[in-house]
Structure 1
């Protein structure tokens, strides 16, 4: 029995194959060939993939040994930090991270009257927009829906949805530009990237006036952050408030919006589940709608991997993993592991309707531990409300024109369908049909 981490198998795909397949497929191939513990990449610059549920359990039990890291420029966490500074989603553990989480948590409570109202209004907006023959992109509709769910809770009514939508679009573009530039740039060069400089000016011009006019209150995330951090009196706090707002907004919109897109993609192929939702809704229940959301998040979690750095030497499966090792945990691979789930590639929401509690190392679409998604309960409520509302009014199916390859996953900022997906929507009240293209 070896305790040398270098004895763990390596998987080094050719660069051309990596570009063609993408990292998600590479990780699946690596596990298929070498098991759920494997180095991926060149030996002098590899990341250790820990893809088993037992590895997630180790993370839960020894969380302090696995920390956020920012030293490796190609990592998503480093790019996020360059973009967002000490925001909730990117900062290291510490006083600033704890403060950001403490301030944010009460404002993503799905029972909040404001958020509940916006969740319901956004779900009914979906009903209207899906009947508009001019709309052709279901992906953009889902992202717009996610933005509508949270925008007022973040900013009140001081900024338009169109402005916020443009800002988030630019955020995605800059993020990808920095990821591409990272392998050939040092940290300081990335911080001076012209596109990033222009983006920061755009953010300040849009959000800065809101901070200047903010009241001291608890109604919105903006007000709560301004009350706690006093951005008018402390220049550094101004940037912190903006970064926390932008980081949480981007995560809330992209992850929840794409999760809705995948959920609709799954249930469009299973009309009997839609009927179950309708029957439950007639009795004021939505257990099946909630189970459908969870099963979609199991089968296609939008966060396929999350990265940590080993803080101190640690034993993993009888191997000593040295401090400083970059490791990847994978909700995607755990969720599709037959050792954790019966018939893991089948869409079966009934898994989440039983009385038995599902172990956290088996189901982690929002990560695990103290760094799990602060808004996960809110996101589940938003998605469940949208599914229940849509199923009540529509019967939808996958259009025959959709090629099977379009439904395969592509790992970019998050996991999205690889191509255009078409749906046939039929009103449950009227014999009308519309086709929309994602």
Structure 2
């Protein structure tokens, strides 16, 4: 039997195993829990319980290079099978994706053996949730301008400063924070990545940010002397910039595979609405629908390319540009196929209550941010121009 036949056999067997497990563990409560981009506020308690069930089944950490932290490790093709079956089963949005897809690969690559053994097993069990402390009011796209400080205090550090646009901060047990550990340092120098426990009343405050959608899944986080142990610096003190950039590459790359499976379901719903409203009879709308379908195929092929770590420096930026613009355009198309009805919500308007939104209205409003968060389009194009094409750097004012 050739390698291709063996791979196909593995694929079929793994798919059957995934389907059987999901069928035996997914309940109606899980399917209605929601979650995901623009809906992280939904069903948090149910989704936390589901995360623990995933951990018990060994389904967290499939993409990790080793299977020694309570996870199983499989290749990219089987990770795609898992993502496809997960989406098709109607499973809820993952509340532990930041720990699994961002924190864990970074600790595996840069962390000590002690850090790996402390932080990865609870993620694999679905017991500890993480959030990301990168952006600040004056350091969003310009991440090197962070001002949050971490000052040595006996056996550890005290973190003081503010982070913003922090998803899942109210639910998270831990936050990985990019902070300045060298007083007086500037730009990329003197930064470190610290693992900060969130349960520190009086030293950490989380304030929700109300969004266009009326919900508040993003947050401001204020650190007032929050305690961090000396052994909770990933990659060593002063090496935070390199660690942070590697983590962002994970965020903009392979971690979006499952997200793209969800995009396919959203596109199907837009097509269904276009047919139901008669908008599909318009040749311009039909062309836009075909373009979205073709764009989704390109997203999938790009994600499956799986560049090696440290390979093409522009690959993560290309991925982010592709999916951010594709999804924002889909939101606009969803409104176009509904016509004038897109301007009205599904319920009665009340001045004393949050307004209701249909799923496609929520997608349209939330997707306006897709080309900004996780690295704006301008930043991605600059990375491609300077690091891939070798064009001159823009002068810093």
Instruction: Specify if TM > 0.5.
Output: no
- Could you state the TM-score of these two structures normalised by the residue count of structure 2? 0.26
Higher helix share: 1
- Could you state the TM-score of these two structures normalised by the residue count of structure 1? 0.24
Larger relative contact order (Cα-Cα within 8 Å, sequence gap ≥ 6): 1
